[in-house]
Amino acid sequence: MSAERFPAHRGVAREPIRAVVFDLDGVLVDSFSVMRQAFTAAYREVVGAGEPPFAEYNRHLGRYFPDIMRIMGLPLEMEEPFVRESLRLAGEIEPFPGVRDLLQRLREGGVATAVATGKSGWRARSLLDRLGMMELFDHVVGSDEVARPKPAPDIVLRALELLGARPQEAVMVGDAVTDLASARGAGVTAVAAVWAEVDEATLLAAGPDLVLRRPAELAELCAVRSVRTPTG
C-alpha cells in the first residue's frame, strides 16, 4: 500500500527529501511494553495505592516525561524510578521490523537523518547504541537539549539546523499528535507512522500530511533503492 496523502499544510513546498527527522518510541523502536512496566513501577513506588493511569499517560506520549507528570498532576519524583526501570528493561526493546533496512537505505541514498525524541538525549543515545543503530543517524536530539520540547517546534528546528536542511526539503515522522504539532510548527511535512500501537483515529484527526503503514513506504517516498547485499 502506498502512503496515504492528506491535504498539505500551508507554506510547505514539495521538494526532493534531503532529511528525515524521526521520533524514537513507537516509530523506530517497540518500547510500549517497557514504558508500561516502568510507569507502573514508578507509580507504585512514588504514589502507592491505586491503578496506575497508564492509559492517560499513553495519550501524552511524545512529550518530555516531566511535562507529562505536570499535565497529569503526578509527582515529578516519578521520573527517577521511571528512568531506572526503563534502563533495567532496555534489553526488551527492539526496532520495528523493516526499520534497520529503511535507515540503511536512507543512508545509502544520501538522505540525512536525525532523531528528535521525548526522551532525554543521553537515554536515547544509550538505547540506540545498545541496538547498534547510532551509526545510522547523523544526530540525536533529546527533549532536555532544547528550550521547549514537543509540541513546540524547537526540537525539529534544532534537528534541521544540525542536518543543514531547510523545512521544505525535510519530513518529520511520528506516532503522536505532539509529533505532528512539532513538525507543523517547524514548517516541516508531518508524517504519521501507524505501524505501532497507536490511536489511529486520533492521529488521523490531527491532519497529518502523509500516513505511512510500513517503514518501507518512507524509503519509497524518499526515492531510495533497496539496500545492496553481497553476492556470491
What is the tens place of the pLDDT at every residue in 150-174? 999 999 999 999 999 999 999 999 9
Q: In percent, how much of the chain has pLDDT > 90?
A: 83
Q: Region 85-104: what's the mean pLDDT?
A: 96
Per-residue pLDDT band for 3 (boundaries 50, 70, 90) equals low
What is the tens place of the pLDDT at every residue in 105-121? 999 999 999 999 999 99
Whether the CB-CB separation of 200 and 51 falls below 8 Å is answered with: no
> What's the pLDDT at 5?
52
**What value does the mean pLDDT of the chain take?**
91
Whether the CB-CB separation of 175 and 204 falls below 8 Å is answered with: no
Identity of the amino acid at 105: R
- The span from the CA of 182 to the CA of 65, in Å, is 16
What is the tens place of the pLDDT at every residue in 42-59? 999 999 988 999 999 988
- The span from the CA of 214 to the CA of 218, in Å, is 8
Q: Which residues contact 215 (CB under 8 A, 6 or more apart)?
A: 96, 97, 98, 99, 101, 102, 193, 195
Whether the CB-CB separation of 20 and 139 falls below 8 Å is answered with: no
Can you give the pTM of this predicted structure?
0.89
